[in-house]
Amino acid sequence: MQCHYCDREAAVAVEKEHIKVGLCEEHFRDRLEELSEGDWLGDLEEKLDVDRS
Ligand SMILES: [Zn+2]
């Protein structure tokens, strides 16, 4: 999956309001503050750990 914001390969894929969005690690960090408003951030962090293991 490609990052939603640039041409790099996405490090994480998140689903928000039934739309799947890929984010590279840089853009994931950029968006972390605004994303943290949602309840799904906990799930996202779990997925990130899985991806890195
Ligand atoms: Zn990116």
With helix as H, strand as E and coil as C, how does the chain read? CECCCCCCECCEEEEECCEEEEECHHHHHHHHHHHCCCCCHHHHHHHHHHHHC
Decide if 30 is inside a domain. yes
Report CA(49)–ligand 1 centroid distance (Å).
19
pLDDT digits (tens, 9 = 90+) for 2-33: 999 999 999 999 887 788 889 999 998 888 77
Decide if 40 is inside a domain. yes
Decide if 6 is inside a domain. no
Decide if 1 is inside a domain. no
Decide if 17 is inside a domain. yes
- Kindly report whether the global pTM for this prediction surpasses the value 0.75: no
Report CA(31)–ligand 1 centroid distance (Å).
10
Decide if 46 is inside a domain. yes
Q: Domain count of the chain?
A: 1
Decide if 35 is inside a domain. yes
Q: Which domain holds residue 23?
A: 12-52
- CB–CB of 27/4 below 8 Å? yes
Report CA(39)–ligand 1 centroid distance (Å).
22
Decide if 47 is inside a domain. yes
pLDDT digits (tens, 9 = 90+) for 27-51: 988 887 776 666 555 666 666 666 6
